[in-house]
Amino acid sequence: MKRISVVGTGYVGLVVGTCMADFGRQVICLDKNESIISDLNKGVVPIFEPGLEDIIERNLYYKRLEFTADSAYAIENAEVIFVAVGTPPLEDGDVDLQYVFAVADEIGQLMNGYKTVVMKSTVPVGTAGLIRQRIEKQLELRGVAYGFDVVSNPEFLREGAAVYDFTHPDRIVLGVENDRALRVMEDVYRVLFLNDTPFEITDNETAEMIKYASNAFLAVKISYINEIANLCDRAGADVHKVAKAMGRDGRISPKFLHPGPGYGGSCFPKDTKALARLGRALGSPVHLIEQAIVSNENQIVKMVDKVLSAVGDLKEKKIALLGLTFKPKTDDIREAPALAIMERLIEAGALMRVFDPEGMQNTMKRYGHLDMAITYCQNEYEACEGADALIIATEWHQFRYMDLPRIKSHMDGNYFFDLRNVYERREVEIFGFEYHCVGRPKGS
Ligand SMILES: NC(=O)c1ccc[n+]([C@@H]2O[C@H](COP(=O)([O-])OP(=O)(O)OC[C@H]3O[C@@H](n4cnc5c(N)ncnc54)[C@H](O)[C@@H]3O)[C@@H](O)[C@H]2O)c1
Instruction: Find out whether 315 and 385 touch, Cβ atoms under 8 Å.
Output: no
| Ligand 1 environment, Cβ below 6 A | 7-13, 30-33, 36, 84-87, 99, 102-103, 120-122, 155, 157, 159, 266-267
Look at ligand 1, atom 11, and give the residue with the nearest C-alpha.
121
Span 433-440, average pLDDT: 97
pLDDT over 80 (residue 179)? yes
Looking at residue 442, its pLDDT comes to 80
Q: Model confidence at 368, in pLDDT bands (50, 70, 90)?
A: confident
Cα gap 315→348, rounded to integer Å = 7
Cα–Cα nearest to 212, from 126, 98, 91:
126
Look at ligand 1, atom 15, and give the residue with the nearest C-alpha.
11
**Site to substitute for ligand 1 among 19, 70, 85, 158, most atoms within 8 A of C-beta:** 85
Mean pLDDT for the chain?
Answer: 97
Q: How far is the CA of 32 from the centre of ligand 1 (A)?
A: 11
Look at ligand 1, atom 41, and give the residue with the nearest C-alpha.
121
**Site to substitute for ligand 1 among 73, 266, 325, most atoms within 8 A of C-beta:** 266
pLDDT over 90 (residue 366)? yes
The rounded percent of the chain whose pLDDT value lies above 90 is 96
pLDDT over 60 (residue 404)? yes
Ligand 1 atom index nearest CA of 123: 41
Look at ligand 1, atom 19, and give the residue with the nearest C-alpha.
86
Burial 71-110 (b: 16+ CB within 10 A, else e): beebbebbbbbbbbbbbebeeebebebebbeebbbbbbeb
Ligand 1 atom index nearest CA of 47: 20
Look at ligand 1, atom 1, and give the residue with the nearest C-alpha.
11
SS3 334: coil
Looking at residue 196, its pLDDT comes to 85
Q: How far is the CA of 196 from the centre of ligand 1 (A)?
A: 28
Cα gap 402→351, rounded to integer Å = 22
Looking at residue 443, its pLDDT comes to 64
Cα gap 355→375, rounded to integer Å = 9
Cα gap 132→104, rounded to integer Å = 8
The rounded percent of the chain whose pLDDT value lies above 70 is 99
Span 316-341, average pLDDT: 98
Instruction: Find out whether 178 and 143 touch, Cβ atoms under 8 Å.
Output: no
pLDDT digits (tens, 9 = 90+) for 54-63: 999 999 999 9
Instruction: Find out whether 370 and 376 touch, Cβ atoms under 8 Å.
Output: no
Looking at residue 167, its pLDDT comes to 97
Looking at residue 172, its pLDDT comes to 98
pLDDT over 90 (residue 146)? yes
Q: How far is the CA of 237 from the centre of ligand 1 (A)?
A: 42
Ligand 1 atom index nearest CA of 9: 39
pLDDT digits (tens, 9 = 90+) for 247-280: 999 999 999 999 999 999 999 999 999 999 999 9
Residue 11: other Cβ atoms inside 10 A: 27
Looking at residue 194, its pLDDT comes to 80
Q: How far is the CA of 381 from the centre of ligand 1 (A)?
A: 35
Cα gap 292→286, rounded to integer Å = 10
Look at ligand 1, atom 20, and give the residue with the nearest C-alpha.
10
SS3 438: coil
Look at ligand 1, atom 36, and give the residue with the nearest C-alpha.
8
Cα gap 21→117, rounded to integer Å = 18
pLDDT digits (tens, 9 = 90+) for 287-297: 999 999 999 99
DSSP state of 433: -
Q: How far is the CA of 87 from the centre of ligand 1 (A)?
A: 7
334 φ, ψ to 5°? -60, 125
Looking at residue 209, its pLDDT comes to 98
Looking at residue 444, its pLDDT comes to 53
SS3 431: coil
Ligand 1 atom index nearest CA of 8: 24
Q: Spell out the domains of the chain, with CATH numbers in brackets.
A: 4-201 (3.40.50.720), 229-436 (3.40.50.720)
Q: What angle do CA 371, 372, 373 make, to 5 degrees?
A: 90
The dihedral formed by the CA atoms of 15, 16, 20 and 26, expressed in degrees to the nearest 10: -100
Span 300-304, average pLDDT: 98
Q: How far is the CA of 428 from the centre of ligand 1 (A)?
A: 41
Cα gap 121→134, rounded to integer Å = 17
Looking at residue 1, its pLDDT comes to 63
Ligand 1 atom index nearest CA of 154: 7
**Site to substitute for ligand 1 among 5, 6, 12, most atoms within 8 A of C-beta:** 12
Span 191-218, average pLDDT: 95
pLDDT over 60 (residue 82)? yes
Which residues carry out catalysis? 267
